[in-house]
Chain A
Amino acid sequence: MGRSPEVVAAMTPNFFRLAHWEWRRLVAERTGLVLAAVWCVLLAFAAHQGITQTRARHAEIAAARTANASSWTTKRALLIEIEAGRAQPETYGDPRSPTHSIMGGRADNPIVLEPAPLSALAAGPGDLAPSIRPVGMITKVFLPAQSIDNPANRLAGPLDFNFVVAALLPLFVLALGFDVLAREREARTMPLLASQPVALGRIVAARFAVHFILLWLPLAVAAVFTIAVSQAPAAPLAPALGELAVWLALAAAYLVFWQALTAWANFHAWPAATNALILSGAWLAAVLLIPTLVQTLVQTVAPPPDRRAFVLETRAIETDLFTRADAIRDAYYAENPARRPTIALNEYDTYFVGNLYPRALAADAALAPTLHRLATARAAQATWWHRLAWLSPTLALRLATEQLAGATPAQQGRLIDHARAFQQLWRAHFDLKLFSMRPLTLADYDGKPEPTPVHLTLTERAAAAFPAIVALFAASFLAISTVCRRSFFS
Chain B
Amino acid sequence: MLTAENLTKRFAGNVAVDNLSLTVAPGELFALLGPNGAGKTTTINCLLGFIPPDSGRALIDGLDVVTQPFETKRRLAYIPEQVNLYGYFSGVENLAYFSELAGHHYANAELRRFLAESGLQKEAHDRRVSGYSKGMRQKVGIAIALAKQAKALLLDEPTSGLDPSASHEFSQLLRQLRERGVAILMATHDLFRAKEDATRVGIMRHGKLAHTLTAAELSHTGLEKLYLETMRA
Contacts and interface: CB of A to CB of B under 8 A. Distances in A.
Interface of A: 4, 6-7, 9-10, 13-14, 17-18, 21, 24-25, 28-29, 187-189, 191-199, 203
Given A13-B103, A189-B86, A197-B102, A6 B76 contact: no
Contacts of B88: 25, 28-29
B85 interface: yes
A338 to B, nearest CB: 90
B100 A14 contact: yes
B68 A196 contact: no
Interface of B: 48, 50, 67-71, 73-74, 76-78, 80, 82-89, 93, 97-98, 100-103, 105, 141, 144
A192 B84 contact: yes
B25 to A, nearest CB: 21
B73 A196 contact: yes
Contacts of A199: 70
B50 A194 contact: yes
Contacts of B93: 24, 28
Contacts of B50: 191, 194-195
A196 B67 CA distance: 16
A21 B100 contact: yes
Contacts of B71: 6, 10, 197
Contacts of A203: 101
Given A194-B50, A197-B74, A198-B70, A25 B102 contact: no
B73 A14 contact: no
B70 A189 contact: no
A171 B68 CA distance: 39
Contact of B83 (A7, A29, A192, A194): A192
Contacts, number: 75
Contacts of A187: 84, 86-87
B101 A6 contact: no
B47 to A, nearest CB: 10
Contacts of B68: 4, 6
B100 A195 contact: no
Contacts of A195: 48, 50, 73, 76-78
B103 A197 contact: yes
B100 A197 contact: no
User: Which of A17, A25, A197 counts the most chain B CB atoms within 10 A?
Assistant: A197
Centre residue among B70, B80, B93 by max chain A CB count within 10 A? B70
A420 to B, nearest CB: 65
A8 B37 CA distance: 37
| Most chain A C-beta atoms within 10 Å of own C-beta, residue among B74, B87, B97, B102 | B97
Given A21-B97, A21-B100, A25-B88, A197 B105 contact: no
Contacts of B98: 192, 196
B84 A198 contact: no
30 contacts: A4-B68, A10-B71, A13-B103, A14-B100, A17-B100, A17-B105, A21-B100, A25-B86, A25-B88, A28-B88, A28-B89, A187-B84, A188-B82, A188-B84, A189-B84, A189-B86, A191-B50, A192-B80, A192-B85, A192-B98, A193-B101, A194-B48, A194-B50, A195-B48, A195-B50, A196-B98, A196-B101, A197-B74, A198-B70, A199-B70
A18 B103 CA distance: 11
B103 A192 contact: no
A9 B67 CA distance: 14
Contacts of B69: 197
Contacts of A10: 70-71, 74
A24 B101 CA distance: 15
A195 B141 CA distance: 12
Most chain B CB neighbours (cut-off 10 Å) among A6, A187, A195, A197: A195
A273 B141 CA distance: 29
